[in-house]
Amino acid sequence: MMPPDSPILVAGASVRAAVCSAIMAGWNVCGADLFCDRDLQSQCECMRLKPYPDALSALVASGRFSGLMITGGLENEPDLLAHCQQQVPLLGVDLSFLRVVRDPFQLARIWQANGIPSPEVREVRPTNGQWLQKPLRSAGGQRILCSTPNDETTPSNAYFQRMVDGTSCSGVFAVQPSQAYFLGATEQLVGTDWSGPEPFSYCGSVGPMPQTQSSVQQWQQIGHALASQVSHVNHVGIVGVDAIEQNGEIWPVEVNPRYVASIEVLERSWGESIFQRGLCIDHKTCDSTRDAQRIFGKLIVYANRDGILAEDFFRTVHDSNCGKSVAFADIPFDHDVVRHSPILTVFAEGNSRAEVLAALRIRQQFVNSSIR
């Protein structure tokens, strides 16, 4: 997939990471999301996607863009995307594939047909065992609850998935018809006692995760099962698979057919964009089992109280980003912060997972201690 001459539109709830990735690959990009943060505006022309997501229709109808790439949240809007596709090509999105993999019951049948272990899903609230109540239109782990057996109600917009203990992780693939290339995996920081406000909310990623021959084979089996569902002959897309690693076994729990948040961590390890590695390279050169020399991490910092961030905080953040590596991203214009709302993203790297987690915590504490 070669970069088009006219700009593409990258749209979603937050697009900064995907925009930076596309720019790194030489693409001409405009961004549209909920925030239009300082660092996004420094990278490209951007606009607020409000009302979200309906404002997307008018943007693509403007005739300015040669294609549309989506990020988090818009995978839950297949009808809107179908309307947009009448105006511009969808890049990396096969709508029939999207509709299948975003249906938890169709997805469960795909795993079962391919001999892949996955958590049981049900439409009606189970009365025994440990289950999660998950929204059908899910994003970022929000609004996921532990199911309560004595609650006799079953929400019309939710389903139930059996809980599996283990390490939350995200695998990334380049997917084509009948072919999928496993590009790597990261550990997901979900529901930690020091990061996010909700028990299952996505808070960040650390990786690349080391892979064994067995784990790579399992990831590849997952990828090939997904590739069998791609109908468009010219489709090449990025797909993220949320999973639980339990005693060496990979249990896929959700599929996101788009640029996912964990990709940014892998890109820092690779030193190149996923558009170069995932969509434009000779895949024989991609060795997912190779041990990374450095570990990278990102963390979304949520405010621990209401307050204000003073201008000197933003100057410190700016100065910290003037070196070789970016330490802060998704930097807001608004000085006001609200408890349990995201403020920005911090990054760290080190020689071990423990070193990276410690550095992320230090930067998280710095941000929250700056609230006045």
Instruction: Tell me how far apart the terminal alpha carbons of the chain are, to the nearest angstrom.
Output: 48
User: And the tokens for 89?
Assistant: 């090509």
β-bridge pairing 8-11 and 29-33:
parallel
Blockwise average pLDDT, block size 10, the chain, 372 residues: 76 96 94 96 95 96 94 95 95 92 97 97 92 89 82 83 96 91 95 74 95 97 94 78 97 96 95 76 48 87 94 93 88 94 96 96 95 94
Q: Which of 86, 134, 77, 75 is nearest to 108 (CA)?
A: 134
69, 8 in Cβ contact below 8 A?
yes
Question: Strand order of the sheet with strand 249-256?
Answer: 249-256, 237-246, 167-176, 179-190, 202-207, 295-302, 342-350, 328-329
Q: How many CB atoms lie within 10 A of CB 139?
A: 16
Residue 251, SS3?
Answer: strand
What domains can you pick out in the chain, each with its CATH number? 8-91 (3.40.50), 117-162 (no CATH), 294-372 (3.90.1170)
Which pTM value belongs to this model?
Answer: 0.93
Residue 284: what pLDDT?
43
Residue 153, SS3?
Answer: coil
Q: Which of 8, 12, 102 is nearest to 56 (CA)?
A: 12
Residue 153: what pLDDT?
73
